[in-house]
Amino acid sequence: MRIAIVNDMLMAREALRRAIAEMPSHSLAWSARDGAEAVQRCTEDTPDLILMDLVMPVMDGVEATRSIMARTPCAILVVTATIEGNSTKVFEAMGAGALDAVQTPVLGAIGQPGAASTLQLKIESMRPLIARNGHLSHRDGALDLHPETAPINPLVVMGASAGGPVALATILRALPANFPAPLVIVQHIDAEFAPAMANWLSGQSALSVRIACERDQPAAGIALIAATADHLVLLDSHTLGYTQEPRDAFNRPSIDVFFESVASKWQGDVVAVLLTGMGRDGARGLKTLRTAGAMTIAQDAETCVVYGMPKVASELNAAVKILPLEEIAACLTNSLKSRIRATPV
Domain ranges of the chain: 2-133, 155-341
Rounded to whole angstroms, the Cα distance separating 286 from 157 reads 10
Q: What is the pLDDT, as a whole number, of residue 135?
A: 47
Q: What is the pLDDT of residues 323-339, one digit of tens each?
A: 999 999 999 998 887 55
Catalytic residue among 53, 230, 281, 300: 281
What pLDDT shows up at residue 126? 80
Mark whether 281 is an active-site residue: yes
Task: Give yes or no for residue 273 having a pLDDT over 80.
Answer: yes
Under 8 Å between Cβ of 94 and 201:
no
Residue 238 is among the residues annotated as catalytic for this protein: no
CATH, domain 155-341, list 3.40.630.20, 3.40.50.180, 3.40.190.10, 2.70.170.10: 3.40.50.180
188 is catalytic: yes
d(CA 283, CA 290): 11
Record the pTM.
0.80
Choosing from 26, 60, 67, 188, the catalytic residue is: 188
Please tell me the total number of residues recorded for the chain in this structure.
345
Average confidence (pLDDT) over 12-27: 92
- In angstroms, the first-to-last Cα distance of the chain is 61
The one catalytic residue in 161, 205, 261, 335 is 161
CATH superfamily of 2-133: Response regulator (3.40.50.2300)
Q: Which of 117-126, 144-153, 186-195, 255-264 has the lowest mean pLDDT?
A: 144-153
Model confidence at 145: pLDDT above 70: no
Across the range 303-317, mean pLDDT stands at: 96
Do the domains 2-133 and 155-341 sit in the same CATH topology, yes or no? yes
Among 124, 258, 244, 253, CA closest to 193: 253
